Amino acid sequence: MNAGAFLLVLIPVTIALAAPLLYAALGELISEKAGVINIQLEGMMLCGALFGVWGSAVSGNVAVGFLAAAAGGAALAALHGVICLVLGANQVVSGVVLNILALGGTSFLFGSALSGSLTSPAATLRPVPIPLLSDIPLLGPALFNQNVMVYVAYLLVPILWFVWRRTRLGLVLEAVGERPAAAASLGLSVAGVRWSALLICGVLAGIGGGQLVLAGLGLFSENVTAGRGFIALAAVVFGRWRPVGTLLAVLLFAFVDALQVRAQVLDVPLPYDLLVALPYIVTIVALGLFVRHMRPPAALGIGYRRT
């Protein structure tokens, strides 16, 4: 197989693998713009994966699965909101602890309460070729023969870009994340904006977790997310808190992931464990080499309290 054909095989896999990461990363981007950091992004994805599979298995309807996934992610986000936004605790601490809670909680639920309904695969998504576009030679089948939630994930990027650049909502979010006191003096509700952004993040991360399992085998396993939430967290930083940048970062990680999967299939004599670590190595190197002046939202992670 020549290099060109090899890359062509990688493209559709990359596009599909990027989708769960993209949901989580864009959710995190929205939340961080408003000043709330979610280390528990991983946990929210995990909750989304469990409840997604459960909802889909119980109802036999994959759409219900995604609704349940969104609710699962949002529930953990709400807990983060109560601990940090209401009670004023540190966001990093809360995030780490909620990750432990999500890992233990999903494993416990999977092992006891829900085990009966999760033995057989849940209903999963099927590819939907887009007419005409999917007929384009070579790239058509690669890009336009994905499942519907993949298309939605990529559509979110221009939508977010538009909201950022062209609407008042984008300004409001930015104001709350950069200068909460100033935003409040303009009559904006800092708490309201942060809660909304956080819950949207929970919904999107939950959907990302749902996508992970419902676009695949429809089966949950303990810790099925295996650090993807952390990759998404890094993608926001690497993407410099911009939608398109975040998309590119996610695509890079997904490409490395696809390469790694492909190399295993082709029996490339590279150690599997080290290949799995590639996306993380790429992140560190990328952060170390390219991020010179990291400028996160000024109030990121800092609680706001009316005086």
Partner 1 sequence: MIRAVAARTSAATLLLPIVAVVLALATTALLLLLAGADPLRALSDMWTSSFGSTFALGTTIVKALPRLFTGLAVALALRAGLWNIGAEGQLYVGAVAATGVALYVTGLPETIAPGVILLAAAAAGAAWAWLPGVLKAHRGISEVITSLMLVYIGIQLASYVATGPWSTPGATFPASNPVPSSARLPILGTGTSVHAGLIVAILVALLVWVLLDRTSFGVRLRAVGGNVRAANALGLSAPRLMILAMCLSGALAGIAGGVEVLGSRGRLIEGFSPGYGFEGIAVALLGRLRVGGIVAAALLFGALDAGGAGLQASGTGLSAAVVQVTGALAVTYLLAALGLSEIVTRRSKAKAALANADHTAAREQPSHGTDVATPTASTDVGQKGTKT
Residue 270 binds partner 1 (CB under 8 A)? no
Nearer to partner 1, 13 or 103 (CB): 103
Structure tokens at 113: 């309460």
Closest-CA residue to 301 (of 25, 99, 35): 35
261-264 contacts at long range (C-beta below 8 A, 24 or more positions apart): 261/13, 261/17, 262/6, 262/9, 262/10, 262/13
Return the residue of 5, 82, 136, 139 that touches partner 1, per CB under 8 A: 82
Return the residue of 37, 153, 193, 215 that touches partner 1, per CB under 8 A: 37
Residue 91 binds partner 1 (CB under 8 A)? yes
**R_g of the chain, CA atoms, integer Å:** 19
Residue 237 binds partner 1 (CB under 8 A)? yes
Structure tokens at 153: 């994930």
Residue 99 binds partner 1 (CB under 8 A)? yes
Cα separation, 4 vs 208, whole angstroms: 30
Nearer to partner 1, 7 or 277 (CB): 277
Q: Which stretch binds partner 1 (CB under 8 A): 21-29, 86-94, 124-132, 169-177?
A: 86-94
Quick note: the x/- pattern for partner 1 over 111-140, rule CB under 8 A, is: xxx---------------------------
Q: Which stretch binds partner 1 (CB under 8 A): 92-100, 171-179, 194-202, 240-248?
A: 92-100
Task: Identify residue 140 by its one-letter amino acid code.
Answer: G
Please identify which residue in the block is written with the tokens 């459960």. Answer: 54
Please identify which residue in the block is written with the tokens 């303009």. Answer: 186
Q: What's the Cα-to-Cα distance from 53 to each of 4, 36, 153, 215, rounded to whole Å?
A: 37, 28, 19, 10
Nearer to partner 1, 35 or 210 (CB): 35
Q: What's the Cα-to-Cα distance from 77 to each of 70, 116, 185, 208, 291, rounded to whole Å?
A: 10, 27, 27, 14, 28
* Strands of the chain, DSSP E: 127-129, 145-147
Nearer to partner 1, 5 or 100 (CB): 100
Residue 182 binds partner 1 (CB under 8 A)? no
Q: Least distance in Å: CB of 83 to partner 1?
A: 5
Residue 104 binds partner 1 (CB under 8 A)? yes
Closest-CA residue to 36 (of 153, 205, 286): 205
Structure tokens at 287: 């952060």
Residue 294 binds partner 1 (CB under 8 A)? yes
Residue 181 binds partner 1 (CB under 8 A)? no
Give the interface with partner 1 as residue ranges (CB under 8 A): 37, 39, 79, 82-83, 86-94, 96-101, 103-105, 107-108, 110-113, 222, 227, 230, 233-234, 237, 271-274, 276-277, 280-281, 283-284, 287-288, 291-294, 296, 300-303, 307
